[in-house]
Amino acid sequence: MSRITMTADEVAQTRVVLSELAERYPSPESQEFLDEADLIAHDVPRRIRKALREFRLFEPAGALLIVSGWPVDDERIGPTPAHWKEHGPGNDTRQEELLLVLLSALLGDPIAWSTQQDGRVVHDLLPIRGHEHEQVGTGSEELITWHVEDAFHPYRGDYLGMMCLRNDDRVPTTFAPISKVELSAAQRAVLASPHFVIRPDNSHLPRNRGNANGRSPAEEALVEKAYRKIEQMCASPERIPVFFGDPGTPYVRMDPYFMDSPEDPEARATFEELQRRVDAALEDCVLEPGDICFIDNYQAVHGRKPFKARYDGRDRWLKRINVVRDLRKSREARVSATSRVLY
């Protein structure tokens, strides 16, 4: 885990950039902004760019980088919304969303899922009444079991970004780099064989879908097709390895809560041992307002400790983004070469 803290001068320089962007683009979700974000990101202070470049290029074993020091105006952002669909006129988080996209663009291309939060690039993580015991980011009293983000999907992000807007109760994000998990070569070989299945997590299921407001009939047809894919993945998941890449320092792909126990006895025993060792390596990371956390989604797992939501406007509130290093590989799931929404 590493951290870089923005200086007062770096904050001031970044504010100028964000002010210009707010005048130029209607929304952080606009296609025009997303097309140019990687270019505009070079106006971010050099020291911050350097830290993100090194995180991307050198793939440090710690697998987590926090950029801190951004001052979040608690009054400007307003109360924590009751639902990700219900941003009110008092919820001005545009600066933070622009900043999150800009920094993410230094790692790769931000993407969106048509089956999550109405296909938005920037998500809200906040407790929703009725989701208390759900295994989703909008839950609260349920432990979010450690996992690789969207592990079930071949086009999952290389990086997960989360920006903290509010965390009065200091709810910890849990985290473990796979580099801290020691296994024998024989165990790694078993985990690198296709013995395992991962089903889609609950956030992608039809019961958590948004609405069709603003979508064309053609776009809505694509969303329906995407949900049929999700249902197919639930019914007939592909067998995959959970380790891949270099055998000595593997990448990881797993989400135990949504995985079946392997049929093969050796694979089952090895996977159970892997889970025990990840449990032992797990640590807490409490994000403060203004912290922007990037997790290498190929090298680490993350989760969240349970907490008691109050629904009083002061609950934990994070922004989330998924970033890929190779947008092209998901072309069959997008409507155009530049589109960021995966169907």
**What is the CATH classification number for the domain harbouring 322?**
3.60.130.10
Nearest Cα neighbor of 170 from 304, 297, 327 is 304
CA atoms within 13 A on the CB side of 115: 21
Find the domain containing 92 and state its range: 2-342
Nearest Cα neighbor of 110 from 178, 28, 212 is 28
Nearest Cα neighbor of 198 from 145, 236, 144, 157 is 236
The Cα 149–Cα 297 span in angstroms is: 7
Q: What is the pLDDT, as a whole number, of residue 213? A: 65
Q: Which amino acid is at 282?
A: L
Please state the φ and ψ torsions of residue 172, each to the nearest 5 degrees: -80, 140
Total domains present in the chain: 1
- CB within 8 Å of 305: residues ≥ 6 apart: 143, 171, 172, 173, 174, 284
Nearest Cα neighbor of 160 from 318, 333, 295 is 295
- Give strand ranges (E) for the chain: 2-5, 64-68, 109-113, 123-125, 144-147, 159-166, 172-177, 243-244, 251-252, 283-286, 292-296, 300-304, 317-324, 341-342
Q: What is the pLDDT, as a whole number, of residue 212? A: 59
Q: What is the pLDDT, as a whole number, of residue 7? A: 99
Dihedral sign for Cα atoms in the order 169, 320, 285, 13: negative
Q: Which amino acid is at 28?
A: P
Q: What string of pLDDT tens digits covers the 343 residues of the chain? A: 899 999 999 999 999 999 999 999 999 999 999 999 999 999 999 999 999 999 999 999 999 999 999 999 999 999 999 999 988 778 899 999 999 999 999 999 999 999 999 999 999 999 999 999 999 999 999 999 999 999 999 999 999 999 999 999 999 999 999 999 999 999 999 999 999 999 998 888 777 676 656 677 878 888 888 888 888 888 989 999 999 999 999 999 999 999 999 999 999 999 999 999 999 999 999 999 999 999 999 999 999 999 999 999 999 999 999 999 999 999 999 999 999 999 9
Looking at residue 27, what DSSP letter applies? Answer: -
Q: What is the pLDDT, as a whole number, of residue 252? A: 99
Beta strands 109-113 and 341-342 are: parallel
